[in-house]
Amino acid sequence: MANLIAPKLSVNVNKIATLRNARGGNNPNVLTVALDCEKFGAEGITVHPRPDERHIRRTDVFDLSKHVTTEFNIEGYPSEDFLELIKAVQPHQVTLVPDPPHVLTSNAGWDTKTHLQELKSIVARIKAESSARVSIFLDPTPELTGYAAETGTDRIELYTESYAVEFLQSPEKAIGRYIETAEAAIAHGLGINAGHDLDLNNLSYLAANLPGLLEVSIGHALVSDALYHGLFNTVQLYRAALRKHILYP
């Protein structure tokens, strides 16, 4: 078994904010849903605010920061506004994502070799201005893990879109580069997170086979599944998927 301890589940509530914003008002209430996710067993809450506030708003970030009692993880591109928000909010974890403001969703990891000096400066600033753990979004590229470690980051978050796509044809092939990257990251002293397009079909295999996996961040699939199963049942299903290889070896 790759992992003897189940990875933690952090629920990304961006899609809840998208639904609220589509109609105006405050229904569904992002804070209420986040606190319910915690109550139902989620071990963290993730948000990814963007400059146009098309889903999560700055006010959401501040509201959540006052009430989330598990791990509060803020993802985003490290603009000056984002870094000032981190300083003000003091989350438990900051995940740095290299997506410019116009993209629909995160679609690539950092080239830590090309952006080494920039990331060093950003990570140092975050650590100087907060007590947050820092994670860097990374493609499954083993050779980039050494540069990631040089930035001073605590963890990497593996971008799992290609895993999710290839999983449908061959789970073993899909996870190959992820295992290599995780092993390289561990050798450099980094923790492993993962996120993007993870769902109830592919999550258990990832949790069982990816070395050192500590945490997954899941939003779109979990919220979509909640439409059918209800939020309580869905959080339980995702937690069970992360523990399946431990509960039923």
Active site residues: 48, 75, 196
In the chain, the largest separation of any two C-alpha atoms, in whole Å, equals 49
Task: Name the residue type at position 152.
Answer: G
Give the C-alpha separation, 194 to 105, whole Å. 15
DSSP code, position 101: T
What's the first-to-final CA gap in the chain, in angstroms?
Answer: 8
- Residue among 197, 164, 199 at smallest CA distance from 178: 164
Give the C-alpha separation, 96 to 43, whole Å. 20
3-state class of 102 per DSSP?
Answer: coil
